[in-house]
Amino acid sequence: MKRIASFSVNHDVLQPGIYVSRIDGDAVTYDLRFKTPNAGDYISPKALHTLEHLIATYVRNSKYTDGIIYAGPMGCRTGFYLVLRDGITKGQLLELLKETFTFIAGFEGEIPGGKRAECGNYLEHDLQEARQDAQDYLNVLNNVTPDKMTYD
């Protein structure tokens, strides 16, 4: 089988940030890397699940809603993939992500889609940890510029 592009990235040198992972026609997949791979510090399953609900809800309700295709976690628990339609610039994405993670870092209340009838694992959430992970990633985003959104 053909090796997929994301397995060709050297994860031993990858650092937290935002990276263009792949482009497929008008769909651009971004790697939202929260944690340094293979460093022993991962997003907990409960926080990952909560972040998934909050990220997806926020970006799908933003002014870019028509350009959002998918937001979901990486199985390795070091970040998320965000798939957008081409047309949302890197600068616009960066601003959207700063807004998103500011929202999550301060979020209080009921987790969107967090009720039993709405979620397949509704008991597995940790809002406090998700808020901390969001704040940590917001600190990363403050050091990202659109010209640095590529893998080394």
Higher pLDDT, 52 or 7: 52
Which residue pairs, CB below 8 angstroms and at least 24 apart, start in 88-91?
A: 88/28, 88/64, 89/146, 90/146, 90/149, 91/146
Are the C-beta atoms of 9 and 68 separated by less than 8 Å? no
pLDDT band at residue 134 using 50, 70 and 90 as cut-offs: very high
Q: What is the pLDDT of residue 78?
A: 98
Residues found in the chain: 152
Q: What is the pLDDT of residue 35?
A: 98
pTM of the entire predicted model? 0.94
The token pair at 150 is: 């590529």
Q: Is 32 exposed, middle or buried (0-12, 13-18, 19+ CB in 10 A)?
A: buried
Rounded to an integer, what distance in angstroms lies between the CA atom of residue 94 and that of residue 20? 12
Rounded to an integer, what distance in angstroms lies between the CA atom of residue 54 and that of residue 9? 28
DSSP letter, residue 8: G
Give the model confidence (pLDDT) of 45-91 as tens digits: 999 999 999 999 999 999 999 999 999 999 999 999 999 998 999 99
